[in-house]
Structure 1
Amino acid sequence: MKALRASICVAITTLALSLSLAAPSRAAEDEAGAVTQQMKELYRAGKYTEALPLAQKALALREKEFGTEDAMVAMPLNDLGTIHYNLGQYAVAELLYKRSLAIREKTLGPDATEVATVLNNLGELYRAEARYADAEPLLKRSIAIREKALGRSDPSIVMALSNLAAVYSNQGRYDRSEPLFKRGLAILQKANGPDDPEATVLMSNLADAYINLHRYADAERLLKRSIAVTEKAFGPDHPDIAQAQNNLATLYARQGRNEDAERLYKLSVATFEKTLGPDHPDLVDVLDNLAAFYRDQGRTADARGLIKRSQAIRGKTGAS
């Protein structure tokens, strides 16, 4: 099982920077700024399909005012890439991230914190594609840039820490992922308090590591906390909740709590479908987990149907 969605909070943090590069004309700033703000609000609510045309419009406005290679275009490119990433459109997102990265390195230099933002997002994209050898150096470089510029406890470091930890978790290297998740969680909670919704992804992914380390009580506590904080901030229909439900179901399956596990797997599938659509790559892991659960229960026909659907999504999206 993957420790997914580390990029959700990355994208929120990234999008929050969109208006800080400033200096366009007031007319363009008013329109582009308003469009970007609407896009961010939809993004934070997990409404990626609705956010997409607004991100496209914001980019078009910046390109019209400044040209296609100006520094002011780099953040809208990155924002649009982030939305395509969350829609499972990885090839499109990669091209946008690379274009944003090239502009930022050229205009701001290789050690700018804005460069670190795009390095983080591109590294997370490669993690999602299981391109771990490509992901790891980008995420390490992102962390190093921010540590040098801002110090080791700045909250902007957290998402690259989380994404690097997720790379290690995906590889089964939980001895390396656990301290990174814990460090990131401590930084966020110190900075923003215990009900920070941006910390919930770290809670869920640290819990995944704990499940694989057989620390079930610690995992259950974190997952329930993640669900509660996310629901308080965004309501019950959010992709982060679906991921936490998936992880909690896996925990219960390992403990033999079969009714609870099946219920939560089904809730996770339903939430992902409602928020991201029926063919999103994030469904693959939940479908595979539920199929494995059914196989263990001797329900082979149910398992086969889920595997068939999972394979179909992989074929459409290239999910790993």
Structure 2
Amino acid sequence: MGEYSKALEYYEKSHKIYQKALPPTHPDLAASYNNIGQVYYNMGDYTKALEFSKNDLEITGKTLPPNHADLAFPYNWLGKIHRSMKEYSKALSYFQKSNSIREKALPEKHPYLAITYSNIGDVHRLMGDYEKALAFHEKALNIQENVECDPLDCATTYMNVGETYREMKDYTTALTYYQKGLKIREEKLAKYHPDLAVIYHNMSKLYFSTKKYSMAMKYVQQAAEIGEEKLSSTHPHLVEYRETFEKIREKQ
């Protein structure tokens, strides 16, 4: 629901009980570290997210065989955190570890494989290799459009594909994918969910690039409104929305 402070409060209460009641290598304790790490990630506190996700990996790595499907989860999360910290080679390394496990442990059309394919694709985009990015996103969509998946995961892939095409300056194709992702997120998420702000911001950047400043302003205002409601004032996403807002305002 994007209520991250409330989520954190409950996860921390739960975590204290687990720490008292369970042995230090219990899988439920690992899952608890992961839950808290995910909330910190969503709150934009990547250092804390990294700390908790590493605790998760440490326990999971000790208690599971090296190619167990569940070991892919902490690797995937560490990849996401390093990606947000702009440490792309580290992110890629973790995503590839996650992917390697999933390719061995899961059926070839499993929805979790699609998630790692899309994450790998997104890091390739950030590293400027658009051809590789699109190849991985295509593998992701080949699963997500043909197998029963969480629609929100599919929406993320659409958004990632849109970002790739936007950076390639193919704005028409980019817009098509953004609209697909936006439609799903608007249907599935609360009106003020931070994940909606992300895609509104992407739309704004696209319209800015095509010099449609009034449309760009409309979308960045929506993004900033959600960000101000749901995120801390120092959250990297909100900082970015404000920067985009200023750039558009100068052009107008």
The offset of 1:255, in angstroms, is 1.7
Q: Which moved more, 1:161-170 or 1:285-294?
A: 285-294
Aligned length: 252
Match of 1:97 among 34, 38, 53: 53
Match of 1:243 in 2: 198
Match of 2:23 in 1: 67
State how far apart, in whole Å, the 1-side matches of 2:243 and 2:173 are: 24
Match of 1:145 in 2: 101
Q: Is the 8 A contact 1:269 1:283 kept in 2?
A: yes
Q: Which moved more, 1:78-87 or 1:171-180?
A: 171-180
The offset of 1:275, in angstroms, is 2.2
Give the 3 Å change call, closer, same or farther, for CA 68–51 of structure 1 in structure 2.
same
Match of 1:107 in 2: 63
State how far apart, in whole Å, the 1-side matches of 2:93 and 2:108 are: 18
State how far apart, in whole Å, the 2-side matches of 1:182 and 1:122 are: 23
Match of 1:175 among 116, 131, 135: 131
Q: Which moved more, 1:71-80 or 1:285-294?
A: 285-294
Moved over 4 A (4+): none
User: Percent of pairs identical after alignment?
Assistant: 25
Gap runs ≥5 in structure 1: 1-44, 300-320
Match of 1:200 among 155, 170, 190: 155
The answer to whether residue 88 in structure 2 is matched with residue 129 in structure 1 is: no
Q: Which moved more, 1:55-64 or 1:252-261?
A: 55-64
Match of 2:248 in 1: 293
State how far apart, in whole Å, the 1-side matches of 2:237 and 2:14 are: 27
State how far apart, in whole Å, the 2-side matches of 1:271 and 1:202 are: 22
The offset of 1:69, in angstroms, is 2.3
SS in 2 for 1:119: helix
Match of 1:255 among 199, 204, 210: 210
The offset of 1:147, in angstroms, is 0.6
SS in 2 for 1:278: coil
Report the residue type matching 2:217 in the other structure: E
Q: Is the 8 A contact 2:53 2:77 kept in 1?
A: yes
State how far apart, in whole Å, the 1-side matches of 2:248 and 2:135 are: 29
Deviation sequence 1:92-136 (CA, Å, 0-9, x none): 111111111011111112211111100000111011101112111
Match of 2:226 in 1: 271
SS in 2 for 1:53: helix
Q: Is the 8 A contact 1:226 1:241 kept in 2?
A: no
RMSD over aligned Cα, in angstroms? 1.8
Report the residue type matching 1:125 in the other structure: I
Match of 2:165 in 1: 210
SS in 1 for 2:146: helix
State how far apart, in whole Å, the 2-side matches of 1:206 and 1:290 are: 24
Which structure has the higher relative contact order (CA within 8 Å, separation 6+)? 1
Deviation sequence 1:133-172 (CA, Å, 0-9, x none): 2111111010010010113321112222222222122222
Q: Is the 8 A contact 1:238 1:275 kept in 2?
A: yes
TM-score (norm 2): 0.93
State how far apart, in whole Å, the 2-side matches of 1:186 and 1:58 are: 38
Deviation sequence 1:35-92 (CA, Å, 0-9, x none): xxxxxxxxxx111111111111222222222122222211111111111111111111
Q: Is the 8 A contact 1:155 1:187 kept in 2?
A: yes
State how far apart, in whole Å, the 2-side matches of 1:221 and 1:251 are: 11
